[in-house]
Amino acid sequence: MAGRCRCSALPAPRQGLMEEARRRLREFDVGDKFSRLPLPRAAVLLPLTEREGRLHLLLTVRSMQLRRSPGEVCFPGGKREATDKDDIDTALREAEEEVGLQPEKVEVICRLMPGIDKMNNLVTPVVGFIEDTFQVTPNPDEVSEVFLMPLEYFIKPLNYKTFPYKTSSGYSTQVHCFIYDDQEHKRSFKIWGLTAHFAVFLALVIFGERPTFEVDYDLDNLISSSENNFINLYAAIHEKKKSKL
């Protein structure tokens, strides 16, 4: 992680909130632990900012012009390119392309436990702090809207449901689905799937509280539990591939 932290001189009033979040996040940093797995790679940026004394996540709505998942809420991110040195480069490059967030305006904190999307891409969530003064400039070809959402909503939601889901490899899990009424945009956003999965885990790490809904983790052993869940998911995909040979 050397040389990756940028814009660390945050204003004093928010230093306590951010410093505690930094401390907890770094305990869960997986670095490049899973970089050798033989799966295509992708990365997303989980941009955190402080507003009115609370941590918020920046999320985007995919353009309706896109072929894959048009209109869905997601984090800035995408597939790794040959010029990307690592997952951090991928996440920062995609964030700049999608919402105009310059890499030097992001203080990268850590990489959390990856996920595997429905296309079997290994997706690494990169957590970074951004200033609340950041002015988004969405790329209309990729992003139709950008909004902020309180991080605590992902452990104490007002409108939440879950449903069982079985991956193409046969791995069974629960999918989180949040409906968030945004007063600023005067509309509701639906956050689900891998985006919700990453947001829930981020909130669990930072707040260290039990959510108001069930999760697939042993909350007393969150680090080992999350790693076991991921290994089981990857193993199911690996077995599926072997069975096709």
Q: Over 126-186, what HEC string results?
A: EEEECCCCCCCCCCCCCEEEEEEEEHHHHCCCCCEEEEEEECCCCCEEEEEEEEEEECCCC
Evaluate if pTM is beyond 0.75. Answer: yes
Q: Please, what's the b/e burial string for 188-210 (b: 16 or more CB within 10 A of its CB; e: otherwise)?
A: ebbbbbbbbbbbbbbbbbbbeee
Which pLDDT tens digit goes with each residue over 50-59?
Answer: 999 999 999 9
User: What was the pLDDT predicted at 136?
Assistant: 94
Domain residue extents for the chain: 17-243
> Which superfamily does CATH assign the domain made up of 17-243 to?
Nucleoside Triphosphate Pyrophosphohydrolase (3.90.79.10)
Which pLDDT tens digit goes with each residue over 150-165?
Answer: 999 999 999 999 988 8
pLDDT at 231 over 90: yes
